Amino acid sequence: MSYLKSLPAETRLLEVFRAYPGPARPLLDLHEQVMRAESPFTPGERELIAAYVSGLNGCDYCHGIHTITAEAFGVPEGQLAAAVRDLESAPVDEKMRPVLAYVGKLTRTPSRVTDADADAVFAAGWDERALHDAVLVCALFNFMNRMVEGVGLSADAAYAEVSGRRLREVGYAGLGKVLAEEG
C-alpha cells in the first residue's frame, strides 16, 4: 500500500515516476547506463546482481521484477531464490559466485568489505571495470530498494511478470520514453 496518499493504494513505480518526473528521468537514464551500456557483465548478469541485492534486502517488489528480467535474459529459473537462500550451495556460475558474494557483503556490511573480497572477484577472472560495474549495480539497487520500500510499493507475481518482461524488451530507456511522451 503506497504511503503517498495522493496516489492510488496499489501504486507502482512508474506511477511514482509520473507523479515526480524531475528526478525520475535522470534516474532512468542512470539505470540505462548501469544496466544496459557496455560492461564486462551481460545485461542478464547485471539483472542477476540487481535481483540478488534486492532479495538480500527483502525488497519483494524489486526482487520479483528483476528476477523475471534476469530469467528473460537467460538466468536459469530458481537460481536467484537459491542464491538468496544460500549462495555457497546455489547453482550459480563459479565466475559469478564471488561477484555475488562481494555485492552481498557490500549490501549487508559495507564497512567490512576488504581487499580479499575484491581479490576473489579478480581471481575469478573479472577485471577492475567489472568490479566497478558490480558496485554500481549494487549501489543502484540498494538505493532503489530503499525508495520502493520507503514509498510503500508492492507488486504481485503477475505485475512482476509483466514488468520484468517489459524491462527485457524496452530496457530502462523505454520507460524513460514513456515518461517523456507524457511530460
pLDDT for 178 equals 74
Q: Is the dihedral of CA 85, 88, 89, 95 positive or negative?
A: positive
Torsion of CA 34, 40, 42, 43, to 10 degrees: 0
CA separation, residue 19 to residues 6, 8, 88, 155 (Å): 9, 11, 42, 18
Work out the mean pLDDT of the chain and round it to a whole number: 95
Q: For residue 9, what pLDDT band results from cuts at 50, 70 and 90?
A: confident
Q: Please, what are the domains in the chain?
A: 13-182 (1.20.1290.10)
pLDDT in tens, 18-53: 999 999 999 999 999 999 999 999 999 999 999 999
pLDDT in tens, 50-104: 999 999 999 999 999 999 999 999 999 999 999 999 999 999 999 999 999 999 9
| Mean pLDDT, residues 134-160 taken together | 96
Instruction: Specify the pTM.
Output: 0.95
